[in-house]
């Protein structure tokens, strides 16, 4: 049976398995003939059963050593199937990408040192990953410089382990200060966040002078996408991007992780249209309620009024205000509240949504910052006047994102169930976390009315990937 899941070096490993199996079979036949066993080199039924039992890797003993794999391959004449299963097991246990290029003879050297409970020991796993090439800067080739920020420089690169493009975020280490807290925070969170709509951290490389984070490479961010289509997006694409944003956020929020810096530049998009949350440098795990958070989070245009007015007692609703602003920007082609200062930002918000009261924003009448600004009385505009492209469902869910009171602001999981997304079908709610919505038949990007060439046309300019700085 042909293996349908094999890494690029599977042909080489297959040849090795067949050669080793043939040699061992020949030796054993010769020994049996000399001993006059009379069995003609055939294996006793009990031994075949034992080999098959050894391949039940779900047992507590874990996977068998490589020599047993070869013996089972020889006796069952299913070298490709057994090799495929073994490669799958190694990939699973080491958390390797499916297209990894395993070094020559790597599997042959592996007897996979197991702990008493049948799992890989930590030392064995580290050694195995190091042998493959993880954690080594020479495993990656720098191609183009994408940008430079205060603490980091980002390069487009290529992995020699998989031949895939990657984004290399090279963070400069100061001898006195060490790694920036944002980098430490990003690494600690991304290692535990595995989702189709969250950017994947492939590798971490630490040297005396730098800390390099190796991410999957995506062609554009949402800001660039909107620029390329002249800020006139298909409403179908708006829904697809918005749903993916909510799907990634819902996954984070269920794990008590706040992103805290949502903006179009931090949402990356690949050629297929898959949208992924990126830049978790300001993100925070909120395992228990606390009042020690900073209010200097979220780019000004996407910052909720409670945070603008100094609140540090926030939770997952901080991200949902930003979702509403991004939703409006995709649908209407312009930022909703493009303020230049905190006071200007609040003016724009209150001018559109009305000046908050105790009913709409409890505690506002006693907020020192609010009283100091002395805002004039504004009456709320009808959302249909500022978002004419949205239908009734779109206007309804937009209003729920933009509630002054964070307690009643819609959650990501509830927003995904809103009737605004009914046209996507029920299957989008049944997917495993790691599976893209584009695997569902009929779900695909539409051509945007303002798109100059293709749905992900190249502008010829370096990608604006501020999310990585």
Q: Name the one residue in this structure whose structure tokens are 């530049």.
A: 265
User: Same domain for 34 and 100?
Assistant: yes
Last residue of a domain, one of 154, 186, 216: 216
User: Same domain for 282 and 360?
Assistant: yes
Residue 183 maps to a domain: yes
Quick one: pLDDT at residue 22?
Answer: 60
> Does 433 participate in catalysis according to the annotation?
no
User: Same domain for 462 and 340?
Assistant: yes
User: Same domain for 239 and 357?
Assistant: yes
Q: Name the one residue in this structure whose structure tokens are 């995904």.
A: 416
Give dist(CA 55, CA 63) in Å, integer: 7
How many alpha carbons lie under 13 Å from residue 175 in its C-beta half-sphere? Answer: 0
CATH number of the structural domain spanning residue 461:
1.10.510.10
Among 451, 322, 298, 453, CA closest to 398 = 322
Quick one: pLDDT at residue 291?
Answer: 42
User: Same domain for 124 and 41?
Assistant: yes
User: Same domain for 111 and 196?
Assistant: no
pLDDT tens by residue, the chain, 469 residues: 444 444 443 444 444 445 555 655 666 677 777 666 544 444 444 444 333 333 333 333 444 444 454 455 545 555 555 545 555 555 554 555 655 555 555 555 554 444 455 455 556 656 666 666 677 888 899 999 888 876 778 899 998 887 889 999 888 877 455 556 777 777 777 778 899 999 988 888 888 888 888 889 998 999 999 999 999 999 999 999 999 999 999 999 998 888 888 999 999 999 999 999 988 766 566 543 444 444 444 579 999 999 999 888 778 999 999 999 999 999 999 999 999 999 999 999 999 999 999 999 999 999 999 999 999 999 999 999 999 999 999 999 999 999 999 999 999 999 999 999 999 999 999 999 999 999 999 999 999 987 765 444 444 444 444 444 4
Last residue of a domain, one of 201, 216, 231: 216
Residue 161 maps to a domain: yes
Q: Name the one residue in this structure whose structure tokens are 């209003």.
A: 399
Residue 5 maps to a domain: no
Give dist(CA 405, CA 349) in Å, integer: 14
The secondary structure of the chain, three-state, reads CCCCCCCCCHHHHHHHHHHHHHHHHHHHHHHHHHHCCCCCCCCCHHHHHHHHHHCCCCCCCCCCCHHHHHHHHHHHCCHHHHHHHHHHHHHHHHCCCCCCCCCCCHHHHCCCCECCCCCECHHHHHHHHHHHCCCCHHHEEEEEEEEECCCEEEEEEEECCCCCEEEEEEEECECCCECCHHHHHHHHHHCCCCCCCECCEEEEEECCCEEEEEEECCCEEHHHHHHHCCCCCCHHHHHHHHHHHHHHHHHHHHCCEECCCCCHHHEEECCCCCEEECCCCCCEECCCCCCCCCCCCCCHHHCCHHHHCCCCCCCCHHHHHHHHHHHHHHHHCCCCCCCCCHHHHHHHHHHHHCCCCCCCCCCHHHCHHHHHHCCCCCCCCCHHHHCCCCCHHHHHHHHHHCCCCHHHCCCHHHHHCCHHHHHHCCHHHCCCCCCCHHHCCCCCCCCCCCCCCCCCCCCCCCCCCHHHC
User: Same domain for 235 and 353?
Assistant: yes
User: Same domain for 40 and 155?
Assistant: no
Residue 265 maps to a domain: yes
Among 293, 297, 292, 265, CA closest to 278 = 265
Q: Name the one residue in this structure whose structure tokens are 């246990």.
A: 93
Quick one: pLDDT at residue 270?
Answer: 94
User: Same domain for 92 and 204?
Assistant: no
CATH number of the structural domain spanning residue 189:
3.30.200.20
User: Same domain for 228 and 211?
Assistant: no
Residue 387 maps to a domain: yes
CB-based burial label for 196 (10 Å; 0-12, 13-18, 19+): buried
User: Same domain for 168 and 242?
Assistant: no
Catalytic residue chosen out of the listed positions 85, 221, 261, 306: 261
Last residue of a domain, one of 192, 216, 240: 216
Quick one: pLDDT at residue 33?
Answer: 72
Annotation-wise, does 169 bind a ligand? yes
Domain count, the chain: 3
Residue 268 maps to a domain: yes
Residue 48: domain span:
10-132
User: Same domain for 70 and 199?
Assistant: no
Quick one: pLDDT at residue 447?
Answer: 92
Residue 2 maps to a domain: no
b/e string for 37-60 if b means 16 or more Cβ within 10 A?
A: eeeeeebeeeeeeebeebbebeee
């Amino acid at each position: 049976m042909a293996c349908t899941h094999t890494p690029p070096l599977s042909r080489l490993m297959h040849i090795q398995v067949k050669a080793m199996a043939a040699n061992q079979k020949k030796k054993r036949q010769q020994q049996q003939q000399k001993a006059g066993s009379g069995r003609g080199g055939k294996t006793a039924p009990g031994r075949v059963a034992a080999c098959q039992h050894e391949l039940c890797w779900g047992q507590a003993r874990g996977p068998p050593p490589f020599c047993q794999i070869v013996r089972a391959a020889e006796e069952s004449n299913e070298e490709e199937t057994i090799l495929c299963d073994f490669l799958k097991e190694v990939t699973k246990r080491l958390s390797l990408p499916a297209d990894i290029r395993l070094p020559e003879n790597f599997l042959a050297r592996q007897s996979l040192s197991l702990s008493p409970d049948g799992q890989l020991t930590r030392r064995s796993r580290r050694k195995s990953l190091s042998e493959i090439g993880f954690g080594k800067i020479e495993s990656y080739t720098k191609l183009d410089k994408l940008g430079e920020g205060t603490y980091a420089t980002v390069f487009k690169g290529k992995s020699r382990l998989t031949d895939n493009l990657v984004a290399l975020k090279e963070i400069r280490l100061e001898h006195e200060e060490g790694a920036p807290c944002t980098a430490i925070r990003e690494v600690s969170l991304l290692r535990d966040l595995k989702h189709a709509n969250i950017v994947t951290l492939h590798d971490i490389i630490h040297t005396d002078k730098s800390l390099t984070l190796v991410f999957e490479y995506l062609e554009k961010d949402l800001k660039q996408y909107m620029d390329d289509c002249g800020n006139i997006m298909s409403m179908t694409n708006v829904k697809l991007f918005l749903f993916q944003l909510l799907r990634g956020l819902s996954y984070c929020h269920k794990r008590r992780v706040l992103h805290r810096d949502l903006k179009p530049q931090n949402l990356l998009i690949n050629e297929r249209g898959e949208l992924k949350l990126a830049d978790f440098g300001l993100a925070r795990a909120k395992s228990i309620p606390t009042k020690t958070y900073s209010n200097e989070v979220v780019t000004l245009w996407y910052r909720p009024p409670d945070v603008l007015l100094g609140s540090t007692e926030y939770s997952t609703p901080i991200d949902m205000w930003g979702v509403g602003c991004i939703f409006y920007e995709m649908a209407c082609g312009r930022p909703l509240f493009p303020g230049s200062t905190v006071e200007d930002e609040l003016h724009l918000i209150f001018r559109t949504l009305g000046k908050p009261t105790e009913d709409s924003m409890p505690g506002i009448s006693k907020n020192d910052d609010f009283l100091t600004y002395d805002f004039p009385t504004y009456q709320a505009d009808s959302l249909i006047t500022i978002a004419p492209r949205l239908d009734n469902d779109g206007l309804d869910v937009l209003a729920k994102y933009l509630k002054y009171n964070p307690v009643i602001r819609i959650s990501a999981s509830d927003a995904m169930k809103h009737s605004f997304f009914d046209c996507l079908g029920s299957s989008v709610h049944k997917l495993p976390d790691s599976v893209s919505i584009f695997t569902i038949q009929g779900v695909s990007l539409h051509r945007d009315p303002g798109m100059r060439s293709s749905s992900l046309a190249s502008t010829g300019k370096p990608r604006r990937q501020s999310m990585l700085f």
